[in-house]
């Protein structure tokens, strides 16, 4: 769509000229059919229920109860964890012996161990289970027939 100035012809203005102006006619609106069998509108009773301040108080009480239950559960869990002995947190070797501190030894009963330079029966027994170091070293000495070991020697662990 473009806008252009209307021309002036001599002394006449554009309004004085005869233009084919559109005519407006009023059209009477269409009548709508009247509804059939519609019940009259009536007001329904409105129930007010509980007062707003009372509802807020009830909600706050429920929230407080939930928070108290959560705190009790968390406190109970902490108490149970603190009551457990720390040795139960350690790892267990394949033979079922526990290693304190959680460091797995990797040495299992019946496995073959190759003696390295600087190893002793006590150091090998300490790797298997530090809590029973003396008993294990005595068992290994009895199994090999001597308390002296040589690097490269293969020992079957008790």
Are 70 and 118 part of one and the same domain? Answer: no
Are 57 and 113 part of one and the same domain? Answer: no
Identify the domain containing residue 108 by its residue range.
90-156
Q: Please provide residue 20's backbone torsions phi and psi, each rounded to the nearest 5 degrees.
A: -80, 90
Model-level pTM?
A: 0.35
Q: How many domains does the chain have?
A: 2
Are 108 and 127 part of one and the same domain? Answer: yes
- Where does 38-153 have alpha helices with state H? 52-83, 121-128, 133-144
Report yes or no on 25 lying in a domain: no
Look up residue 4 and give its two tokens: 């252009």
Helix axes 133-144, 121-128, angle to 10 degrees: 130
Report yes or no on 2 lying in a domain: no
Tens digit of each residue's pLDDT (9 = 90 or more) over 3-57: 555 555 555 555 555 566 667 677 676 777 676 676 667 776 766 677 888 889 9
Tens digit of each residue's pLDDT (9 = 90 or more) over 79-101: 988 887 765 555 555 445 555 54
Please answer whether residues 100 and 87 qualify as being in contact, where contact means their C-beta atoms are separated by less than 8 angstroms. Answer: yes
* CA gap 136, 98 in Å, rounded: 14
């Amino acid at each position: 769509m473009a806008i252009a100035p209307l021309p002036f012809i001599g002394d006449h203005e554009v309004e004085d000229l005869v233009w084919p102006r559109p005519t407006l006619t009023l059209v009477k609106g269409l009548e709508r059919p009247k509804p059939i069998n519609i019940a009259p509108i009536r007001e329904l009773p409105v129930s007010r229920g509980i007062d707003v301040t009372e509802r807020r108080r009830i909600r706050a009480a429920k929230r407080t109860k939930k928070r108290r239950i959560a705190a009790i559960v968390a406190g109970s869990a902490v108490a149970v964890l603190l009551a457990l002995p720390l040795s139960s947190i350690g790892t267990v070797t394949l033979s079922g012996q526990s290693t304190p501190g959680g460091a797995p030894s990797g040495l299992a009963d019946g496995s073959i161990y190759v003696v390295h330079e600087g190893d002793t029966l006590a150091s090998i027994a300490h790797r298997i289970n530090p809590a029973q170091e003396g008993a294990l070293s005595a068992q290994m000495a009895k199994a090999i027939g001597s308390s002296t070991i040589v690097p490269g020697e293969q020992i079957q662990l008790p």
